[in-house]
Every structure is written in structure tokens, then in C-alpha cells.
Amino acid sequence: MRQIHSCSGQEFRDMFAAGSSWLEKSVPDINAINVFPVPDGDTGTNMFLTMRAVIEEADRVSDHSVSAVSKAMAQGALMGARGNSGVILSQFFRGLAKELYGKESINGNDWAMALSEASRAAYKGLSQPVEGTMLTVIRDISKAAEEAARAKPNDITFVTEAAVEAAKDSVAKTPFLLPVLLEAGVVDAGGQGVYVLLEGALRYLEGKAEELKYRRPQLVTADLPATSEAVQLAAEPEEAYGYCTNFLLEGYKLNPDKIRKKLESKGQSIVVVGDEATVRVHIHTYDPGSVIRYATSLGTLHQLQIQNMDDQHVGFLEMQRGRRPQLDIGVVAVAAGSGMREVFKSLGAAAIVPGGQTMNPSVQEILQAVESVPAQKIILLPNNRNIILAASQVHSLTSKEVTVIPTRTMPQGIAAIIAFNYEGGLEENVQAMEEVIATVKTVEITKAARTTQIKGLKIKKGQAIAIVDDEDLVAAGDSITGVLFQALGKAGIKSAEVITVYFGADVEAPEAEQVNQEIRKKYPEKQVEMVSGGQPHYYYIVSLE
């Protein structure tokens, strides 16, 4: 998989197309967390439809410079903006286009500068910017991008990685900046959409766009106290929210700033963006008629939408009562090590059971994890030969339909969950996951607990030893790195395309990076990734695919 470090206009378009496709998969989930003060009905839908207009306009451009493509995107966003979130998104693209004007291609520094201008433009479009919304997330993204660009100014992927991580952290903090979010127990929907959009773009830059077809975004959650706030909210008298009013205004010598100021006396959550010829307006008002009369005195209205936010908010409250998102199929994985658990979580595991070598979980612990998942169909990944039997007992103890994929190592489990297709059925997924685990070789480097001899291999207590596929002891020695490279050769590394090395709790990051560089140097044609697994007892766990 080829990573992109500098970006042409076509690649710029494609990265946002990947982000838009990724966003589309999370539309229902983002809609479900939407809450006042910017209900707008369907934040996820509004953002996706705005992005669809962005990509469609970019497709019409014959000039493939970043400048031309970003300008077309900004125009598409303005014309196709839906709701508050869509209008803010149009300002985001407007800022990008302004900073990228005249550029044929861009690097990390150009991208960071563009994100900063996008943040300024997004804030400028609102009469009264509110923190704890997508505005805050966009601003935090731009700050992280600027810092990353100082370290690697020529690497757009590196800068985007930093931006995505900042977006994730920022979204998690939104309830603590906006009381109404904390009260409702949700993060900001618009910020969530920005995070998902940017994450999809990052996967494209990393050369992983193909993987997005078989996975779904993992939405950000905040560490909130468990309460029944939704029920409390419903019991309280609600202030009327009025009408969410959106339209596109076309005219001659329009003044967005003047229009915004005029509308401040007519409503709230006002967003007015555009130029002298075209202005996009979003406003929450009790009297949409007066807004429309004022706008028609300036020009011609298009794409007029008026939605009753009181109805939307009642629907939100009804949804929140006892709300527990349902899954068609839930994946439960056993994993040892904080990094390994994070890997399974990021890949979509609905529940993770701590455990592995020397700490096998009980049937009861696995059963509790299965029962905690809001799905009637469960796929279990034991990820250890000694846990398969215990996992197999669970199906007789629950009313749920439980299938165990006999993964004997964590790399097999990771490969299996990557192969999981959220849009597929149980049988289809079980078949795909069982097939893929047969293609994975696992090398584990640990320490000998005693002196022994196996198949002619003499082993001393305390030496490093290598085990392939949880059963074949293939190397032993005093050097951890030496044993690792012996094992890689015996495990058939030459026929592998992807090598993923998970380093354990007893390995320092600089030491792991040195091993990473040695593997890359010895096998330059391979794709090598180093991940902090944090697993106990095992210095390294290596996946060969």
C-alpha cells in the first residue's frame, strides 16, 4: 500500500471522496446523537449530502490542479449545503480553496495552512460561534496540523494523522464545553461528522481506502457519568425551538456580513456565507415568514427548507429513552495488552475480554461480554488455543446465536475482524473470517520458563524463544532480535506481503523502532508496520500475511 506524502488535485479530490464514503456509513449513527442547540433534524444526512455535492462539482473540473479542484469543491459545498452543519462545512471548503489558490499540488505544510484558513472561515460564517460544536473540532484540527507540519512539512499523511487524532480528542471533549450535550449524554454530532470525514481521508492517504469497504466507522464517545438524563429532559417543560430555515439566495451585490447582521434580530444559530452573487443562509427562527420576506427583497430564493425543530427534539427525546444502539452481529474478542485491546476496539469489536496466555478468562467472563453486546448474533474470537474450548461453552448458556471462530493467536483474530463485513450475514462472515485466518502466520517471541530440549533444540531458562502459530518452537538464543529474525525466516517471511510487529509491555519504543528499521532494511520490498501491543510475557508478536 502506497502512502501519499504530497498531493495532486486528483488525489485531493479522491481523499475527500473516500472521506465522504466513510461518512455515509455513519449517517444513521450521527443522526441519532443530534441534539439542540443545533438540531437541524439530521446532521449526518446534511453533512453527507453536502459532501456529495462537493465531490460531484469536483468531478466536473478538467483542470486537475489542487487550486482548481478545491475551488470547485467550495462552490459545490456552497450550492449543496444542507442544514447548519452543511453550511459550516461549506465555509470550511471555502477556507481551503482560499489558501490553496494557485497551487498545483500540496505538501504537509500547505495542507496545515489550508486547515487553519478553513477554521477561520468557519468561525467567520457564524454570528455567534458556540464552543463544543464542530467549530471547536475544526479549530483543534488546524492547531494539531500546524504543529505536525513543523515536524514534517513535506508529509501530508503525517499531518493528517495528527489532525485525525486531534479531532478524536476534541469530539470526546465537546460535552464538557456545551452543557446541553452533557445533559443529553452525547458528543457533538457535527464534530463527530468532521472526525469521520477526516478519518476516511486519512485512510486514503495511507493507501487503505480498499479496507473501508468492509468496515464501519467507530464513533467517538465521551467518558460521561451514567445517568438517565434523557428521561429527566423529557419530564421538564421545553422551550420552543421554532423552525430551522435554510435557503440559497441569488442576487446582485449581496453583502453576507450585512445580511447576517440583519438576521440577528430574527433568530438564532445564524450562518450566512457566500459572495456578492450567491449567499447560503441558515437560521433558527420563530417566524420564518419574516426571514423569507427580507431575503426575497434582496434576490431570488432557491432550495428553501423549513423544518419544525420542536417535532425533531421530541423525536430525539423519545429515541433517547432507554436508547441502546442495536447491532445485527456483534464481535467479541479476547485480547491481552492495552495496545492489542485498542486494536480490536478500533476495528469494531463490540466487547473485549481481557485475557490470553497465563490468564485465560473463564466461561463466565466470556458469557458476560456476550450478554453485554446489543446483538442477538455473536461471533467470538478466542485468539488463543487454550481459550477456544471455554469460548465454545458459551452458546449453551445464552439465548443468543454464538459462533466461535477458532483463532489461536491475536494476529489471526485481527485478520478475522478486518475480514468482517458489517453489511454481510452471519454465515457469510463466518466463512470469510475462517478462510482468512488460514492465511496468517504468527511468530511469538517470549522467554523460556525452564531449561529443556524440544525436537533437538536445546533451550536454557531465561533465553528468548520463538514459537510459530502457537505450536512450533523454532528458535532459541540469548538475543531477542536474533531469535526474532531466525523465526521470521523459518516462518516463511519471503512469501508474506504484509508484516505487522506488535511489541510488548517489556519492550521500549526506541528498541522496537530499531527492530522495525532492521526488518525494513532486510526486507525492503515488504510492507512493515510496528504497533504498540502492550502484551505481557511476549516481547514481540508478528503477523505475516
pLDDT one digit per residue (tens) for the chain, 545 residues: 567 888 999 999 999 999 999 998 888 888 877 654 333 447 888 888 889 989 999 999 988 899 999 999 999 988 888 777 888 898 999 999 999 999 999 999 999 999 999 999 998 877 778 898 899 999 999 999 999 999 999 999 999 999 999 999 999 999 889 887 787 678 888 999 999 999 999 999 998 877 777 677 888 887 665 443 333 333 333 344 577 788 889 999 899 889 988 888 888 778 888 888 898 888 888 888 888 999 899 999 888 888 776 555 555 445 444 444 556 888 999 998 888 888 888 788 888 988 766 577 878 888 888 988 888 999 999 998 888 878 888 888 889 999 999 999 999 989 899 888 877 889 999 999 999 998 898 989 988 877 888 777 888 888 889 888 877 888 888 999 998 898 888 888 888 888 899 998 888 988 989 988 998 888 888 888 888 888 888 899 988 88
448, 449, 451, 456: CA torsion to nearest 10: -40
As given in the structure block, the three cell numbers for residue 325 are 444502539
Whole-number Å distance between alpha carbons of 186 and 17: 27
Whole-number Å distance between alpha carbons of 324 and 527: 40
Q: Which CATH architecture has domain 7-208?
A: Alpha Horseshoe (1.25)
**What is the Cα Rg of the chain in Å?**
26
Output the CA angle 429-387-541, nearest 5 degrees: 80
Q: Is residue 176 packed enough to be buried (19+ CB in 10 Å), middle (13-18) or exposed (0-12)? A: middle
Whole-number Å distance between alpha carbons of 181 and 378: 32
* CATH 1.25.40.340 intervals, the chain: 7-208
* CATH 3.30.1180 intervals, the chain: 441-544
Output the CA angle 185-186-189, nearest 5 degrees: 165
- The CB density around residue 153, as the number of other CB atoms within 10 Å, is 16
Whole-number Å distance between alpha carbons of 365 and 371: 10
* CATH 3.30.70 intervals, the chain: 243-318
Whole-number Å distance between alpha carbons of 194 and 336: 32
CATH of 243-318, one of 3.30.70, 2.60.120, 3.60.21, 3.30.1330: 3.30.70
CATH number of the structural domain 329-437:
3.40.50.510
Q: Is 198 helix (H, G, I), strand (E, B) or coil?
A: helix
CATH of 441-544, one of 1.20.272, 3.30.1180, 3.30.70, 3.30.230: 3.30.1180
Cα 435 to chain centroid distance, Å, stands at 27
Residue 466: what are its φ and ψ, rounded to 5°? Answer: -120, 135
Q: For position 26, what pLDDT does the model report?
A: 86
